[in-house]
Amino acid sequence: MSRLSDIRGNSFSIKRTEMHPAAIILACLVFLFLALPSPADADIIKNEDGSQVPDPRMVFGKIARAWEDGDQQTLADLVHEDGLTVTTGGNDDRTTHYSPSQAYYYFKNMFQTHRTLVFMFEKTQDASAGDRVHGMAVWKRRRPDSERIQEMKLVCVLVMQDDQWRLAEINKIR
């Protein structure tokens, strides 16, 4: 037992008890469960006017995971119904438009010719940016027959479609 005194000089004692490690872990888990938002809450953002919109950052995360996994189907499923516009950047700025079904083959060919080492978004906009949001990504890749690593910067544009964010553009920045 420890003896302490308060501001007025009155002494009192405190009995120290040891907590069981399982009780500490349980208390931490309960705290995390109550303190963290549910996954459904994380997908929704409230606007200043009180309306709710999906959080585009969740879609940017889905794109990054699918890109790193080489999952052309998930990426194609995220394409806007009006299609996907891909701009190569550079001096000979070439733009190609793919329908949602063609986008599957665009991603499939891309993942066959390049192995993704890292794909991550460095900056993303949230829903407060409006009906078009941008995410700047870094893509580190290499060809299957080469050890040379290439780094490319991409800007992915999401557009709202039927209350869901859809991939509408990929712009390569060299």
What is the pTM assigned to this prediction? 0.69
Query: CA triplet 84, 89, 90: central angle to 5 degrees?
Result: 165
Asked whether the CA dihedral 150, 151, 153, 157 is positive or negative, the reply is: positive
**How does residue 127 score in pLDDT terms, banded at 50, 70 and 90?**
confident
All structural domains of the chain: 2-40 (no CATH), 55-173 (3.10.450.50)
Q: So what's the pLDDT on residue 98?
A: 96
Q: Give per-residue pLDDT as tens, 26-83.
A: 554 444 444 334 333 345 454 455 556 789 999 999 999 999 999 999 999 999 999 9
Cα separation of 103 and 2, whole Å?
Answer: 71
- The amino acid at residue 137 is A
Tokens found for residue 36? 């963290």
- What is the DSSP secondary structure assignment for residue 79, as one 8-state letter? B
Report the length, in residues, of the chain. Answer: 174
